[in-house]
């Protein structure tokens, strides 16, 4: 298994730099297989969502679609696959921002009873509690 950095994943999704996009595709085609998938960490996923929104103007639905595309590939694996899927559903339903939901769900999966926050919207999720 080999880890994939955000810039490689962005090239695969956006294709904004023809040379780097071709290099990223060749690399993933050669090195990432179902037997030895490319690993996408939570940090890369969060950075990816931020870059797609800030640098490429992706909306919430576009970001969900992009990440679902990555999830569908048999040659990639996410650090917290089930929590990512659940966080995507939260964002689709409008209950929460993808990143907030992922934070709460990953923390819960690691044994936290809740995640403390000042974020009023996140505090409405079952995985968070309000600090004030």
Could you give the 3-state DSSP secondary structure of residue 30?
A: helix
Mean pLDDT per 10-residue segment, the chain (132 residues): 97 96 96 95 96 95 94 90 92 85 94 95 91 89
Please state, in angstroms and rounded to a whole number, the distance separating the CA atoms of residues 36 and 93.
33
Architecture in CATH of 2-130: 3-Layer(aba) Sandwich (3.40)
Nearest to residue 74, comparing CAs of 6, 9, 28, 5?
A: 28
Please state, in angstroms and rounded to a whole number, the distance separating the CA atoms of residues 21 and 26.
9
DSSP line for 79-119: TTHHHHHHHHHHHHHTSS-HHHHHHHHHHHHTT-S-EEES-
Q: Which pLDDT does position 33 carry in this prediction?
A: 93
What's the whole-model pTM score? 0.88
**Exposed (0-12), middle (13-18) or buried (19+): which is 74, by Cβ within 10 Å?**
exposed
Please state, in angstroms and rounded to a whole number, the distance separating the CA atoms of residues 11 and 25.
8
């Amino acid at each position: 298994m080999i880890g994939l950095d955000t810039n490689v994943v962005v090239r695969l999704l956006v294709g904004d730099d023809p040379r780097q996009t071709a290099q990223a595709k060749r690399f993933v085609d050669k090195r990432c297989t179902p037997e030895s998938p490319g690993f996408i960490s939570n940090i890369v996923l969060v950075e990816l969502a931020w870059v797609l929104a800030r640098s490429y103007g992706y909306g919430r639905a576009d970001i969900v679609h992009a990440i679902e595309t990555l999830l569908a590939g048999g040659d990639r694996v996410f650090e917290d696959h089930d929590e990512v899927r659940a966080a995507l559903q939260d964002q689709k339903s409008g209950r929460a921002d993808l990143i907030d939901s992922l934070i709460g769900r990953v923390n819960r999966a690691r044994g936290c009873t809740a995640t403390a926050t000042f974020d009023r919207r996140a505090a409405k999720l079952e995985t968070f509690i309000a600090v004030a």
